[in-house]
């Protein structure tokens, strides 16, 4: 294999790894939120506030729900709030 080809293969591998890393992290928090937030009520109240609450507002809600017993680790509170704050109203990940 020529050096050029090896370099190319290396770049493709690095990009693939970086991408799968990112999407895995994204899916994880989405799954965690769906699992944790569905154990007491449906996702309806969560769906209704997509696009309404600010990031600070979601942090408050998520902390409040964790205090009530939602099963999220303390380290997941921030990413969960960021995830929820970034969703569009009616996002199928939560609303369907
Ligand atoms: C341990 C049970 C429990 C879990 C788990 C839970 N909730 Fe709740 N949630 C409640 C109760 C009880 C209410 C209604 C009382 C109230 O409004 O304070 C509520 C109400 C809400 C509301 C309505 C508005 C509000 O502030 O009252 C939202 C939004 C909400 N939950 C979001 C979430 C999210 C997001 C998660 C996941 C991080 C979650 N809940 C997990 C118990 C829970």
Task: Give the mean pLDDT of 33-57.
Answer: 98
Residues with Cβ within 8 Å of 30's Cβ and at least 6 positions away in sequence, in order, are: 83, 93
- Report whether residue 29 contacts ligand 1, using a CB cutoff of 6 Å: no
Task: Give the mean pLDDT of 10-21.
Answer: 59
Token pair of 66 as six digits:
């964790």
| Ligand 1 pocket, mutate which of 36, 47, 54, 68 (most atoms under 8 A from CB) | 68
Integer angstrom CA distances of residue 45 from 7, 10, 14, 34, 75: 50, 46, 40, 12, 23
pLDDT band at 17 (very low <50, low <70, confident <90, very high): low
Measured from the Cβ of residue 70, the count of other Cβ atoms closer than 10 Å reads 22
């Amino acid at each position: 294999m020529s050096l050029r080809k090896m370099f190319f293969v290396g770049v493709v591998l690095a990009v693939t790894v970086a991408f799968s890393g990112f999407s895995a992290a994204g899916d994880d928090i989405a799954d965690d939120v769906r699992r944790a937030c569905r154990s007491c009520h449906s996702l309806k109240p969560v769906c209704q506030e997509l696009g309404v609450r600010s990031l600070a507002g979601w942090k408050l809600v998520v902390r409040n729900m964790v205090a009530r017993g939602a099963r999220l680790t303390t380290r997941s509170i921030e990413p969960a709030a960021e995830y929820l704050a970034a969703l569009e109203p009616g996002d199928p990940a939560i609303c369907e």
